[in-house]
Each structure stands twice: as C-alpha cells, then as structure tokens.
Chain A
Amino acid sequence: MPATSANDAPVIQIRDVTKIYEMGDGTIQVRALDGVSLDISDGEYVAIMGASGSGKSTLMNIIGCLDVPTQGTYQIDGQAVESMSNDRLADIRSRKVGFVFQTHNLLPRLTALANVELPMMYGHWPNRRQRAENALELVNLADRMDHRPTELSGGQQQRVGIARALVKEPSVLLADEPTGNLDTSNTAEILNIISDLNHQNGITVIVVTHEQDVAARADRVITLSDGHIIADEPNGARSADESSPFGGERGRERAKRDRRGMRVEPRGKVDAGDIQGSATVAVGDHRSD
C-alpha cells in the first residue's frame, strides 16, 4: 500500500486501460476498451451504464481479474495486476473480489451450500460450512441450503450467487447485470441485499446495469460508450437520500471504519448502532494460508 492513508487510497486504480480482442487470425481487432482511466475508493457504490457492446462487461472482467488488459495498468488494493502470475490472479479472485454474474453461474450439481463454499475451498478457508450457512441466511435462503440450483427460482439462484460472492468478505463486490433476468420484486430484493452490504459492511460495490432504477441506488454513475468513459458523475438523488437508516455519508463512513471486523450475519440480526456487538459471531480475517 502507498504511504497515504488507507482511506484515501483507491481500491481500484485503472490507468489508460485498453482491451483489444483479436479475431480470426488477428486481422480483425475489436477495441472493447480504449484508454479507460478510473479510480474507485474503498466503500463506494458505483454503477456502470452504457449501450450494449460499449465494454461494460470487459471492464468488469478486468476489475475482477478474470481478464487482463492489453495495455495500461490496473492496481487493486495497491497491487499491480499486469505483473501477476496466474496463481496470484486466482488468489485475488478467491479473496479480494466477489463476482455476481447475470446468469448466476452456479454449479448445477452442487447444493446451494456447496456452491457458496466453493470460493472458500480454493482459498483454504476454515469454518467453511458455518460461513456458507451465515451467508445464505444473509440472503434469506436459510431454508434452501440443500437445494440444487435447478430446484431454486431465478431470484433465489441469484441470491445464492450473491451469497457465494460475499461469503469471502471481498473488498469489492462486482455484479454484471445482477438483475437482468429478474422481475421487479426480485430485483428490489437483490438490490436491497447489495445496498446493505455496501452500507453496513462497507464493501465497495460496482454494478453494471441498463436500468435507471438500479443505477439510482449507486452514489456514482459511470457511463461507457465504445470503450470510452463518456460520463462519470455522482448520483445526486442517491447522495441526498437520508431516509435509509444506514444511508448517507455517515453510515458509510462508519461501515468503512469497521471493515476489519466485518460480519457475515443474517440481515435482521445486525444492530446498526453496534456493528461490533458481542452477540454476533465474528468471521473476519481468519483466513488460513
């Protein structure tokens, strides 16, 4: 980490990132991203919008370390991704970032619980089962733990996907059109969960969406077009929102301070006034390895 204060250093620091897809024998080149620079700070809630094919998913995949830029630099938590080995990238995927896909991408033959345990298996985490259960409770699926994806509704599958992403207490939660396949009530529920994670646990959230009301939850909206950022502005409506008990800057600041002691707990049990309350089971930074 740079010498500057932890709160000021961006979690995500992208400089002049270009992603070129080559097709055929290299004759056709697609510039999916073209000189994108972007900083995202710890605890931010960012929405990425833009027309289809504008490069949103490409950017998300690079942020999530699923893909590497063709040119430019990308640092996550101060670590340069370009110079990382495959194994280091896998490490980042298993620890730092939680990815929620548009199509949930659950393993069809595993139960919800086993799916949620998966990233912890690759990250050598202790107490996997307990954590996975907590995460599923958090997304209100305590009674569906032993169901397989095919035995769950679309919204439930997506919630399993979220539980799988948040169970490793990531610094950054990435969601690429998490509600693209869902109806309004399911969308609202998913968005509530994501907002709570941002507000209560201070997780940095980046959501790709086509829908205005999804973007409205974020405090910053970035618009992409043809691989360029054409707009990057705070979400006025969102910043003014003080109606939520955890909303506004104060709630987020507090959550950010408490990141180290973050708890994966059922939503209902979290006491907003005392996040470090002794009644909750801490599942913070106890990664083995």
Chain B
Amino acid sequence: MSPLDIIRTSLYSLSSNRLRAALALLGIVLGVCSVITLMSIGRGSTDRITELIQGLGSNLLTVVPTGAPLTLADVDALGDPLYTPSIKAVAPQIGTFGTIHINNNTTQAPVNGVTPEFLQVRNLEMATGTFIGAPHVESRAEVVVLGSQISEDLFGNQDPTNAEVRINGRRFRVVGVLASQTGFGSMDDQALIPITTAYYRLSGQRIPGGNISVEQISVQASDVDSVDQAIEEIETVLRLSHRLTDADDFTVFNQQEILDTFEETNQTLVVFLGAVAGISLLVGGIGIMNIMLVSVTERTREIGIRQAMGAKRRDIVAQFVTEAVFLTFGGGIIGVVAGITLATVIDGRFLIGAEWNTRVTNDIPLIALIVSVAVGLFFGIYPAVRAARLNPIEALRYE
C-alpha cells in the first residue's frame, strides 16, 4: 500500500464518521490549546519579572543595616575608589512618608532623601527640569523632584517646574519631574528631596555623633562582571569602618541573585503549568485511543474484507495509526490556532485580579504539534495492532 493510498484511506474513513472524529479531535484541541496558553503565560510572566527587575540594572547592589545604622560616613567610605575600585557610584537613601500639598490638591506619598548619585544608580531619567544637585544637599535646600504620577496628580498636564508645594507643611520648590518608569523600584509615585533636608527637616530621628543615618545604600558596580568583586569590597569596607569582629550588621542584596531566584521560581511554575496542560493532552490521547478501539471493533468486518483483499498486517496498522495521527495532528493544528489566539487575547489584560502577560515563542506551537503527533502514534498503535491481529475469517463473520 503506497503512502498516498494510506493517507487517502485514512482520510476517507475519518470523513465517514465526522461527528466521532470531531469529538475525538476536541480532546486534543483542548489539550494543545491549554498547553500553548499556559506555556505562553509562563513565558510571559518570566519576561515580565525579568523586565521589572532588570529595570533597576543588574549591576545594582543594595546595602541595608541589620544592626548598627549605616551613616553618610559609610557612604563616603564606599565611594572612595581607593578602597572600592569595583564600585561606580553609591547612593544613600532615607525614606519618610509625607503629605504633599498644593492649592487644593493633596496627595500622600513616600518622600525619599537622596543624593545626586541616585539618578544614575537607579537608572532614572528626567522628564523635565533638573535632578537634585550637590549644592542642594550641602545647603539642605528645600527642593523636590516629583515622580511622574505625583506630578500628574497634583498638576495634571502642566509643567510643575519652579512651582511651590508643601510637604508636611514645609515649602518645597519643584526642580524637576522624573520620567515615568515601570518595574520594581519605580519612582513614579514618590518624591525625592536632598538627603540632608530629609534628615534635618523632615525626619525626627537623630543618632549620636552628629552623623546622618541612612536607611539603605544603593551601590552600582562598575559592570555586571564585577558585581561579586564589589560585594567583597563593600563587606571589607563596612567591616573595617564598623570595627566588626564577628557577625555583620548589614546585608548586601544582589539584584542578579534576586532575579535568578525569581526566574527559578517562575521556571518551576512554567514546568508545573506545562505538566497540567500535558495531562489534559494525555487525557485527549486516551480519548483518541478509546475512539480508535471502538472504531476497530465497529469496523471488524471492514478489516476482514481488507485482509481478504490482500491487506497485510502492516497495511492495517498503517491505516489505523494514520487515522489516529490525523486526528491528533488535526486537533493539534486547531489547538495551536486556538491557543495562540487565546494567549494573544489575554495578553496584557487584567483578569481575575491579575495582569496577564503572555509570550508565544516559536518553539511552543512546534512542541505542541510534535507532542500531539506523538500522542497519536502512541495511543493509535495499540488499537491498530489489535485491528491487524484479527483473523480474517472471524473478522469477515463478525456482525
């Protein structure tokens, strides 16, 4: 039997019981559709997390105190290229919460005390105006840089540069607005003021020795490859300046590590989702086997006739396996189209309280199609072999 004859015979048999073929197909369609959708959701969320974290820059390190406070003296020490050659910039930060007020508009927002380095270290850009400068820090100037969202809340579309706002009752002059930036560490809904201003004018705490304590220090390594080196330098410098002998009183967070952890977690999620979808494909495959077994029984007489006409066992096997593979391949194609459509439709939408991000990479439909054909082969072989094993005489006599 030539391949063309096999294909023709199989298609013919399938078309003669369309409803059944369609129902068998449905299982595979749903299976493949869910594989594609879930895998693309997995890919999409990995992308999203990566994008969010990388918005901060992967050479960013964060130092937070876990015992004694970190001070501006520590910041100066870390900024000294003599001790820390792998560090490009250091940006301390004090966080307070403030009520920002202009005319009748009021908004509550985190107000961060920062230094000029903050702009570079956190990968920020200005939409209008200028960032906080060194003279502002020195003179404890009452100037503020607004996040894009705050600017919009208070000023709408107007340029707020040089406008006066009140933060916790004090007058501040707006010197600039940050460009909007999504992702972790977005400053859109925060305001930035000089660190000295925050410490002396807004924050109530003082530490002994007249030094300014900071909440966290962002450190930018010279490049991604020198991150580990930078961590060592930070630890050495801080241990020396804090005169530590045993346990550290600070912790260094590595952006790349956080990213890796997230990706790992997410990869597990992707595999899990894929497995769940795979199970539905498996169920579809069992459905195919079921249908094929019924079909073999129902067509016993046909098989007998074909055998009497000279069909070899392999001809019968080929016919039934091809039928099963056609079913799963057809179901696979429809499932791929449905899955891609579904993935595209839910991409970027808010559903059931979450934002869905999907990405259909080329390999997803390919894998789904290969798997569905494999499912057809796997679940089609047993019924086909059963058909081929029939004794021609008994098959012919079957009613």
Pairing of A with B: yes
Binding site for B on A (CB under 8 A): 61, 64, 66-67, 86-87, 90-91, 93-95, 99, 101, 105-107, 109-110, 118-119, 121-124, 164
CB of A122 within 8 A of CB of B1, answer yes
Residues on A with C-beta less than 8 A from B345 are none
Say yes or no for B272: interface residue by CB 8 A criterion. no
Nearest to B310 among chain A residues (CB) is A94
Contact for A91 among B1, B305, B310, CB less than 8 A: B310
CB of B12 within 8 A of CB of A66, answer no
Per-residue CB contact flags for chain B residues 288-319 toward chain A (1 = under 8 Å, else 0) read 00000000000001101111111111110000
- B interface, size bucket: 20 to 34
Q: What are the 5 A-B residue pairs with the smallest beta carbon separation, nearest first?
A: A94-B310, A122-B310, A119-B309, A90-B312, A93-B310
CB of B310 within 8 A of CB of A86, answer no
Expressed in whole angstroms, the Cα–Cα distance for A94 and B176 within the complex equals 90
Expressed in whole angstroms, the Cα–Cα distance for A64 and B302 within the complex equals 18
Expressed in whole angstroms, the Cα–Cα distance for A110 and B15 within the complex equals 12
Nearest to B311 among chain A residues (CB) is A122
Nearest to B9 among chain A residues (CB) is A121
Q: How far is the CB of A28 from chain B (nearest CB, A)?
A: 17
CB of B2 within 8 A of CB of A105, answer no
Say yes or no for B113: interface residue by CB 8 A criterion. no
Say yes or no for B330: interface residue by CB 8 A criterion. no
Per-residue CB contact flags for chain B residues 7-27 toward chain A (1 = under 8 Å, else 0) read 001001000100000000000
CB of B308 within 8 A of CB of A99, answer yes
Residues on B with C-beta less than 8 A from A61 are 393
CB of B313 within 8 A of CB of A105, answer no
Assess A93 versus B313: contact at CB under 8 Å? Given A105-B396, A109-B12: no
CB of A90 within 8 A of CB of B302, answer no
Binding site for A on B (CB under 8 A): 1-2, 5, 9, 12, 16, 301-302, 304-315, 391-393, 396
CB<8 Å pairs between A and B, sample of 12: A61-B393, A64-B308, A66-B307, A67-B393, A86-B313, A90-B312, A93-B309, A107-B302, A118-B306, A118-B309, A122-B312, A124-B2
Nearest to B305 among chain A residues (CB) is A105
Starting from the known contacts A67-B393, A91-B310, A105-B396, 13 additional A-B residue pairs (CB-CB under 8 Å) come to: A61-B393, A64-B308, A66-B307, A66-B396, A67-B392, A86-B312, A93-B307, A94-B309, A107-B305, A107-B306, A118-B309, A121-B1, A122-B309
Q: How far is the CB of B394 from chain A (nearest CB, A)?
A: 9
Q: How far is the CB of A109 from chain B (nearest CB, A)?
A: 5
Expressed in whole angstroms, the Cα–Cα distance for A101 and B301 within the complex equals 13
Expressed in whole angstroms, the Cα–Cα distance for A94 and B310 within the complex equals 4
Expressed in whole angstroms, the Cα–Cα distance for A147 and B305 within the complex equals 19
CB of B308 within 8 A of CB of A122, answer no
Overall SS of chain B's interface: helix
Chain A CB within 10 Å, residue with most, of B5, B16, B309, B312 = B309
CB of A109 within 8 A of CB of B16, answer yes
Nearest to A90 among chain B residues (CB) is B312
Residues on A with C-beta less than 8 A from B301 are 105
Contact for A90 among B9, B304, B310, B391, CB less than 8 A: B310
Residues on A with C-beta less than 8 A from B313 are 86-87, 90
Residues on A with C-beta less than 8 A from B393 are 61, 66-67
Expressed in whole angstroms, the Cα–Cα distance for A44 and B304 within the complex equals 28
Expressed in whole angstroms, the Cα–Cα distance for A67 and B395 within the complex equals 12
Q: How far is the CB of A222 from chain B (nearest CB, A)?
A: 21
Chain B CB within 10 Å, residue with most, of A61, A66, A119 = A66
Residues on B with C-beta less than 8 A from A119 are 309-310
CB of B308 within 8 A of CB of A66, answer yes
Q: How far is the CB of B388 from chain A (nearest CB, A)?
A: 9
CB of B310 within 8 A of CB of A123, answer yes
Expressed in whole angstroms, the Cα–Cα distance for A66 and B307 within the complex equals 8
Residues on A with C-beta less than 8 A from B308 are 64, 66, 93, 99, 105
Nearest to A94 among chain B residues (CB) is B310
CB of B307 within 8 A of CB of A90, answer yes
Expressed in whole angstroms, the Cα–Cα distance for A91 and B9 within the complex equals 19
CB of B315 within 8 A of CB of A122, answer yes
Residues on B with C-beta less than 8 A from A106 are 305
Residues on B with C-beta less than 8 A from A94 are 309-311
Expressed in whole angstroms, the Cα–Cα distance for A67 and B394 within the complex equals 10
Q: How far is the CB of A79 from chain B (nearest CB, A)?
A: 15
Expressed in whole angstroms, the Cα–Cα distance for A109 and B16 within the complex equals 7
Expressed in whole angstroms, the Cα–Cα distance for A99 and B307 within the complex equals 12
Nearest to A121 among chain B residues (CB) is B5
Expressed in whole angstroms, the Cα–Cα distance for A64 and B393 within the complex equals 11
CB of B305 within 8 A of CB of A122, answer no
Expressed in whole angstroms, the Cα–Cα distance for A94 and B306 within the complex equals 10
Residues on B with C-beta less than 8 A from A123 are 310
Residues on B with C-beta less than 8 A from A67 are 391-393
Q: How far is the CB of B7 from chain A (nearest CB, A)?
A: 12
Expressed in whole angstroms, the Cα–Cα distance for A64 and B309 within the complex equals 10
Q: How far is the CB of A132 from chain B (nearest CB, A)?
A: 13
Expressed in whole angstroms, the Cα–Cα distance for A121 and B6 within the complex equals 10
Residues on A with C-beta less than 8 A from B309 are 93-94, 118-119, 122, 164
Nearest to A87 among chain B residues (CB) is B312
Q: How far is the CB of A105 from chain B (nearest CB, A)?
A: 5
Expressed in whole angstroms, the Cα–Cα distance for A101 and B304 within the complex equals 12
Q: How far is the CB of A76 from chain B (nearest CB, A)?
A: 14
Residues on A with C-beta less than 8 A from B312 are 86-87, 90-91, 122
Contact for A122 among B12, B302, B306, B396, CB less than 8 A: B306
Nearest to A165 among chain B residues (CB) is B309
Residues on A with C-beta less than 8 A from B304 are 105
Nearest to B315 among chain A residues (CB) is A122
Residues on B with C-beta less than 8 A from A87 are 312-314
Expressed in whole angstroms, the Cα–Cα distance for A138 and B391 within the complex equals 32
Q: How far is the CB of A41 from chain B (nearest CB, A)?
A: 24
Residues on B with C-beta less than 8 A from A105 are 301, 304-305, 308, 396
Expressed in whole angstroms, the Cα–Cα distance for A122 and B315 within the complex equals 8
